[in-house]
Each structure stands twice: as structure tokens, then as C-alpha cells.
């Protein structure tokens, strides 16, 4: 499989603060990748680097196995479509915006009208073609921005938080538009989100960002605090961990590694907490439980396990997990 992006030793600093630090990252082409992370984790910065609208202080990014020295060539630029979190539309109508993108990308004049119609049709916006761009609603704005980004048929579509601030109906329309693009062969979609479930619903793989670094840790049970020998103190709870990493500031617990029981368990597991069950939710063939202890825990169990545990909301349950289920970083 070819790689769409190959990042090595990327460091991005702004005002002497390290925004991104990525020693190595490869994104294969033809994939739909979700970029997961909390606000301020560096998702937008990474998207902008991948779009080559900003450049890193150190390191290099290869685009389709081509080294990028300073600026993209017009043909390289045409392979990338970018949709900002709050897209900026230029003055004029919806169709004007799409025509401008096609003109700037050097599409033949004779093809512009046909391509404009085609892309508007693709995102179901034909009826808005002649509407002024500054009169659109949030959901329409995003779809116009997607239409503008895919009008010139790029190979990569980058979307920064495409689903934020949208209601359910617009999220679905947007998902359809993105899926329509992603299903074409060889197209790569990379979108950032802070919503883990949105990521799992749409993406074939995820990249988790934490304070500018890529982490393998599951981000569902994520806590911040300080490591003190074999204990990680979040201020509310103490976790037993095996790592001796001195500068670890974050801790994550794999939601599939937590054992839920109605009574305290007698076992060798070092982490045992009790809490109140506040949510039972179905999530892609599994059940997600939310348990409020001093910190909030998410646990993923099978539907069969839920049946045999015979749980109801408000119950007090015990959580147990090994120190090895915990990742500190």
C-alpha cells in the first residue's frame, strides 16, 4: 500500500511552546483516518501541517513519497482538499466559491461549469448554487466547504472537526458527503474529532493525539496528574501502575480491560474502586458502561456480560483492573 503521508521528526513550536512532536508517522493512502484528541492536543495544527498551509520548525513530510522542500507544486496542491473547522467562504455565491477553487487549481475553463454542477449535486446543494455564501447555515456552510475542497478531485481530503456544532440531521448529511468521497478508490480522508464514537463510526483507523504527541493509549479513560513511584495521583484518586516513567503526566485505562462486578472481587488485581453506574449504552456490538467514582470510568463489555451481570442504573459496582491495563505517558 502506498503512503499518502510520511512524517519524520516533526516538531512544531509556537511562541516557544511545543505544539507538535511527532518522531514518526505514516498514513497509508486509501484509508479513512480519524485524528482523536482533546481540545488543544494539536489536532488542528497537524491538519494544517498535512495541508501544507503551515510548516513545521523541524522535520520533513513526504507527500505520496515525494519530499516537500518548501512550497507545493500546483499539481501537488491539487491532490489535497482542506476543510477548516469554521470554513471561510469567499464573497459571492456558493457556485462562485466552487468556480474560484477550480480556477485557482488550474482546471480547464471549459470543464468548470460541468464540475461545479457535478460536485453540488454530489453534496445535495444544487438548489443553493446561487445563494450568497454569507447567508448559509452552519451545516450548509460545511457542506459547501467540502464541495469546494473535493470539486477539483483531490486524492486527500482533510477535515478539521467536521462534526462540531452540528445537529444530528446535518451530521448525517455530512457523513454521507464524506463517505461518498471516501468510497472512491484510492481516496484518503483524514478528519479530526474529539468524539471517540464519531471516529469509530466513520474511520478505519485512528490516531490519538495527546499534548502534541501521538499516543497508543485508548483515550476513553484519560486522567491527568502526577506519577509518584508506583502510584499515579490525579488529585482525586490513586492508581497503581507498573511504569517507572518519571515525567508521566497522563494516565489511560483500556476500557476493555476493566472488570465490573456487583461485589468486591478477591483477586490479585491492584486497582479496585467502587462507583455508581450512571449510563448503559449500546455501541457498535458492545455495551459501554459509565461509572461515577471519584473519577468517571468508561467500561466496554459484551452484551452477554451485561445480561449475566444483571445491572441497573444507580447500582453500586466494583471496578478492578491490573496495573498492566494502565498506560502512563
Partner 1 sequence: MNYFTDSLLAAFRLIISFDANIFRIVITSVTISITATLIAAVLAIPAGVSMALNSFTGKATLQHLLNTLMSMPTVVIGLLLYGLFSRLGPLGSWGLLYTPTAVIIAEAILIFPIMMNLTIAAVNSADPRLVPTLISLGARSYSLTVHVIKSIRYAILAALVIGFGRAIGEVGAAMMLGGNIEGFTRTMTTAIALETSKGEFELGLALGLLLLIIAFALNFTLSWLNKS
Which helix (H) or strand (E) segment holds residue 105: the answer is none
Report residue 87 as a C-alpha cell: 470554513
Nearest distance in Å: CB 280, partner 1: 41
Binding partner 1 by CB under 8 A: which of 46, 101, 241, 253? 101
Determine if 48 is a binding residue for partner 1 (CB under 8 A): yes
- 223, 189 Cβ separation under 8 angstroms: no
Determine if 19 is a binding residue for partner 1 (CB under 8 A): no
Nearest distance in Å: CB 91, partner 1: 7
Nearest CB to partner 1, comparing residues 79 and 250: 79
Determine if 149 is a binding residue for partner 1 (CB under 8 A): yes
Residue position matching grid coordinates 458492545: 286
Determine if 148 is a binding residue for partner 1 (CB under 8 A): yes
Determine if 187 is a binding residue for partner 1 (CB under 8 A): no
Nearest distance in Å: CB 19, partner 1: 16
Determine if 90 is a binding residue for partner 1 (CB under 8 A): yes
Residue position matching grid coordinates 490513586: 238
Determine if 82 is a binding residue for partner 1 (CB under 8 A): yes
Determine if 100 is a binding residue for partner 1 (CB under 8 A): yes
Provide the b/e sequence for 41-63 (b: ≥16 CB within 10 Å): bbbbbbbbbbbbeeebeebebeb
Chain mean position to CA 268: 36
Determine if 104 is a binding residue for partner 1 (CB under 8 A): yes
Burial of 96 (0-12, 13-18, 19+ CB in 10 A): middle
Binding partner 1 by CB under 8 A: which of 7, 22, 36, 80? 80
Burial of 188 (0-12, 13-18, 19+ CB in 10 A): buried
Binding partner 1 by CB under 8 A: which of 77, 170, 213, 288? 77
Q: Which residues partner with 259 through β-bridges? A: 320
- Interface residues toward partner 1, by CB under 8 A: 48, 51-54, 74, 77-78, 80-82, 84, 86-88, 90-91, 100-101, 104-106, 148-149, 152
Amino acid at each position: 500500500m502506498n503512503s499518502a503521508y510520511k512524517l519524520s521528526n516533526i516538531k512544531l513550536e509556537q511562541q516557544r511552546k511545543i505544539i507538535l512532536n511527532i518522531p514518526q508517522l505514516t498514513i497509508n493512502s486509501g484509508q479513512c483516518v480519524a485524528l482523536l484528541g482533546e481540545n488543544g492536543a494539536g489536532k488542528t495544527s497537524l491538519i494544517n501541517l498535512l495541508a501544507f498551509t503551515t510548516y513545521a520548525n523541524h522535520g520533513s513530510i513526504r507527500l505520496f513519497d515525494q519530499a516537500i522542500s518548501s512550497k507545493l507544486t500546483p499539481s501537488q496542491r491539487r491532490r489535497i482538499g482542506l476543510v477548516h473547522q469554521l470554513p471561510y467562504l469567499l464573497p459571492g455565491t456558493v457556485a462562485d466559491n466552487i468556480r474560484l477553487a477550480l480556477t485557482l487549481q488550474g482546471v480547464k475553463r471549459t470543464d468548470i461549469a460541468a464540475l461545479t454542477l457535478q460536485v453540488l449535486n454530489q453534496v445535495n446543494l444544487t438548489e443553493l448554487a446561487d445563494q450568497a455564501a454569507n447567508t448559509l447555515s452552519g451545516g450548509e456552510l460545511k457542506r459547501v466547504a467540502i464541495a469546494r475542497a473535493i470539486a477539483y478531485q483531490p486524492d486527500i481530503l482533510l477535515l478539521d472537526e467536521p462534526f462540531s456544532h452540528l445537529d444530528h440531521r446535518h451530521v448525517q448529511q455530512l457523513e454521507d458527503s464524506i463517505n461518498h468521497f471516501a468510497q472512491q478508490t484510492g481516496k484518503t480522508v483524514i478528519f479530526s474529532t474529539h468524539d471517540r464514537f464519531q471516529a469509530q463510526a466513520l474511520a478505519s483507523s485512528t490516531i490519538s493525539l495527546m499534548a502534541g504527541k501521538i499516543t497508543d493509549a485508548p483515550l476513553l479513560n484519560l486522567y491527568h496528574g502526577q506519577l509518584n513511584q508506583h502510584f499515579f495521583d490525579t488529585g482525586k484518586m490513586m492508581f497503581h501502575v507498573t511504569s517507572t516513567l518519571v515525567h508521566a503526566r497522563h494516565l489511560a485505562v483500556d476500557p476493555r480491560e476493566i472488570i465490573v462486578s456487583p461485589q468486591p472481587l478477591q483477586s490479585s488485581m491492584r486497582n479496585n474502586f467502587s462507583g455508581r453506574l450512571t449510563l448503559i449504552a449500546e455501541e457498535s456490538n458492545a455495551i459501554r458502561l459509565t461509572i461515577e467514582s471519584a473519577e468517571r470510568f468508561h467500561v466496554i463489555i459484551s452484551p452477554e456480560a451485561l445480561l449475566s451481570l444483571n445491572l441497573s442504573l444507580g447500582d453500586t459496582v466494583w471496578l478492578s483492573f491490573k496495573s498492566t491495563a494502565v498506560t502512563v505517558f
